[in-house]
């Protein structure tokens, strides 16, 4: 790594730290019933809520909130599946693209509803502009809004006392979409258009290639799709190669805008959570518990990719690992993007992760296997980290022989059972289908490479699916029927099991009394707890996933050092 590489990392982390606090305050204002944003958007929101049949001031229990969320997302799934299967007869399809295959349409609809955006299709070749904008684009907003809404509901669980309700899903989703996501997406769209990203209604652009052959370049509402794919930690690109495509990501400035947008809202969520829960100090602690390991992840990935492959070096090909990377971005910017997109449930790419070094690919895998709690998705990363925080304070309470407390609420057997259910369920959703894929002929048929890298392709795919990330090692045949269905099921478990668990925890906490802090209360906003929380994440993640990683990327790295290929 050079001083320039360190400078790039430092600049990125500094930008995130600078924008996190104001965006956190914006999120709080968006979720609140009063304030300037409330007055500006009140007429529009009142009309939407009236059409939805929601009465003003109506709130739900945690179970009602959870059932409403699942029903809302199921309706979105059916609508999107219908659009994808009927796109051949729907408007705004100048290229006459036929409907998606049923299994791929099923996979894609689940993917976008769950904020995963797993792309088992090639966007410009298999989707019409109508499907992109009114199918995928709508779900990009709504899946992000539901993730933030669950975070807001959890914060209410800590802030309230002896109450059976945690808010109204429809109201929360409406406010977050109109007040937060839509204005941010418009701003980022304008910035990307200024950098040359298309935002047009025409179908194709005729061009003559350098080889003298005519080309028909697909166009459409690219900038708006890219803006919300990044801000909402969705990740699904307009083009099949995502942000490695020169029309999605044409310049160094567009690259910086997009990679900052990936973590802009996830970085803001801890500060929003702290304020909504009534203790901003807790938000700062959670932010540092995300930022510190993320800085390590970025450093490791940049080091691995800029160091390069010793097998290539032995052949006289010195330099960084540039396989699968865009020359206009280079190894360092590609590695920063890879660390950011897998630390969040984003999944967009500006380089092909399948071509990363074994350690570079492993860092990306670990980010997803941890449930993407190191920033994570908008809302989902924060409430995933709070699950680990619940476990950390429980463990600390056991060590000192005291009933554990977190943010003024007792953490008892019910909360611990729910927290462990979320972690175990996530591990099962990743490891069980990965194991089946490694032994069943239908599963192995999708694997491109032999040896440990082939296992890494499988592990990455199901870590990405259950972690609601959506990126993949490019050699993996994700469109095959076996994996289209299995990945879809993993995406559902990875999204809705934690959501239901978190809402149940929120309901349980909201019903409890607030307990004032005493001399025996463990402070959960200081360096000791931040270290305990990071250690809890590392220990649980290591015990759960290291055996699988040892057979995949670790074995591949050791083989590479020995000069062995497969």
Give the DSSP H or E segment for 345.
none
Closest by Cα among 142, 138, 120, 125 to 82: 138
Token code pair at residue 257: 């805008």
Which residue do the tokens 């590479």 mark? 560
Decide if 360 contacts 338 (C-beta within 8 A): yes
Decide if 480 contacts 357 (C-beta within 8 A): no
pLDDT in the model for residue 95: 82
pLDDT in the model for residue 8: 92
Token code pair at residue 441: 């002929």
Residue 483 DSSP code: H
Q: How far apart are CA 99 and CA 127, in angstroms?
A: 8
pLDDT in the model for residue 207: 82
Residue 325 DSSP code: B
The model's pTM is 0.94
Q: How is 123-146 classified by DSSP, letter by letter?
A: HHHH--HHIIIIIIHHHHHHHHHH
CA dist 499 → 68, 496, 519, 529 (Å): 12, 5, 34, 25
pLDDT in the model for residue 422: 93
Decide if 383 contacts 277 (C-beta within 8 A): no
pLDDT in the model for residue 123: 83
Decide if 347 contacts 117 (C-beta within 8 A): yes
pLDDT in the model for residue 325: 94
Residues of the chain with pLDDT under 70: 56
Closest by Cα among 296, 516, 493, 289 to 392: 289
Beta bridge partners of 108: none
Q: How is 10-53 classified by DSSP, letter by letter?
A: HHHHHHHHHHHHHHHHHHHHHHSSSSHHHHHHHHHHHHHHHHHT
Decide if 230 contacts 346 (C-beta within 8 A): yes
pLDDT in the model for residue 217: 85
Sign of the four-CA dihedral 344, 357, 123, 71: negative
Ramachandran class of 319: left when φ > 0, alpha when ψ lies in -120 to 50, beta otherwise: left
Secondary structure (3-state) at 167: strand
Give the DSSP H or E segment for 243.
none
Closest by Cα among 529, 515, 469, 473 to 111: 469
Give the DSSP H or E segment for 173.
helix 169-176
Q: Where exactly are the structural domains of the chain?
A: 3-562
Decide if 244 contacts 123 (C-beta within 8 A): no
Overall residue count recorded for the chain in this entry: 566
């Amino acid at each position: 790594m050079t001083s320039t590489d360190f400078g790039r990392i430092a600049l990125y982390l500094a930008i995130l730290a600078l924008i996190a606090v104001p965006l956190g305050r914006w999120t709080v204002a968006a979720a609140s019933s009063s304030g300037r944003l409330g007055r500006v958007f009140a007429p529009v929101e009142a009309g939407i809520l009236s059409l939805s049949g929601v009465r003003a001031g109506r709130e739900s229990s945690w179970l009602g909130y959870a059932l409403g969320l699942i029903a809302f997302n199921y309706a979105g799934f059916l609508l999107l599946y219908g659009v994808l299967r009927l796109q051949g007869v729907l408007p705004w399809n100048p290229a006459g693209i036929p409907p998606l295959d049923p299994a791929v349409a099923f996979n894609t609809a689940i993917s976008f509803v769950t904020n995963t955006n797993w792309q088992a299709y090639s966007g410009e070749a298999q989707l019409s502009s109508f499907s992109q904008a009114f199918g995928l684009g709508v779900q990009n907003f709504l899946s992000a809004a539901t993730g933030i809404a669950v975070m807001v509901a959890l914060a209410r669980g800590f802030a309230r006392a002896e109450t059976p309700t945690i808010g109204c899903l429809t109201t929360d989703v409406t406010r977050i979409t109109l007040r937060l996501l839509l204005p941010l997406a418009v701003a980022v769209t304008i910035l990307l258009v200024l950098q040359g990203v298309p935002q047009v209604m025409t179908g194709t652009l005729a061009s003559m290639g350098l080889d003298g052959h005519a080309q028909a370049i697909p166009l459409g509402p690219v900038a708006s799709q890219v803006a919300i794919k990044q801000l909402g930690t969705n990740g699904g690109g307009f083009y099949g190669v995502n942000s490695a495509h020169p029309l999605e990501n044409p310049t160094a400035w567009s690259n910086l805008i997009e990679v900052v947008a990936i973590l802009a809202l996830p970085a803001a969520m801890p500060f929003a959570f702290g304020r909504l829960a009534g203790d901003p100090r807790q938000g700062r602690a959670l932010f540092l518990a995300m930022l510190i390991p993320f800085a390590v992840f970025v450093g490791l990935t940049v080091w691995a990719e800029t160091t390069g492959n010793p097998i290539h070096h032995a052949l006289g090909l010195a330099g960084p690992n540039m396989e699968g990377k865009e020359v206009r971005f280079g190894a360092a910017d590609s590695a920063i993007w890879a660390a950011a997109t897998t630390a969040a449930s984003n999944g967009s790419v500006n380089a092909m992760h399948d071509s990363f070094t074994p350690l570079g690919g492993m860092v990306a895998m670990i980010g997803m296997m941890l449930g993407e709690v190191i920033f994570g998705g908008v809302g989902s990363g924060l409430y995933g980290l709070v699950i680990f925080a619940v476990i950390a304070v429980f463990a600390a309470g056991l060590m000192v022989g005291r009933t554990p407390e977190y943010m003024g609420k007792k953490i008892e057997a019910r909360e611990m059972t729910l927290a462990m259910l979320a972690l175990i369920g996530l591990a099962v959703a990743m490891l069980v289908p990965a194991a089946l894929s490694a032994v069943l002929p239908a599963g192995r048929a999708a694997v491109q490479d032999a040896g440990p890298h082939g296992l890494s392709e499988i592990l990455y795919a199901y870590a990405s699916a259950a972690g609601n990330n959506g990126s993949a090692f490019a050699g993996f045949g994700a469109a095959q029927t076996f994996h289209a269905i299995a990945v879809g099921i993993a995406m559902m478990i990875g999204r809705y099991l934690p959501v239901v668990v978190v809402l149940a925890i929120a309901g349980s906490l909201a019903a409890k009394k607030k307990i004032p802090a005493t001399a025996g209360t463990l402070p959960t906003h200081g360096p000791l707890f931040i270290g305990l929380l990071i250690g809890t994440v590392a220990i649980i993640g290591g015990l759960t996933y290291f055996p699988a990683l040892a057979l995949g990327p670790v074995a591949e790295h050791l083989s590479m050092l020995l000069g062995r290929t497969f």
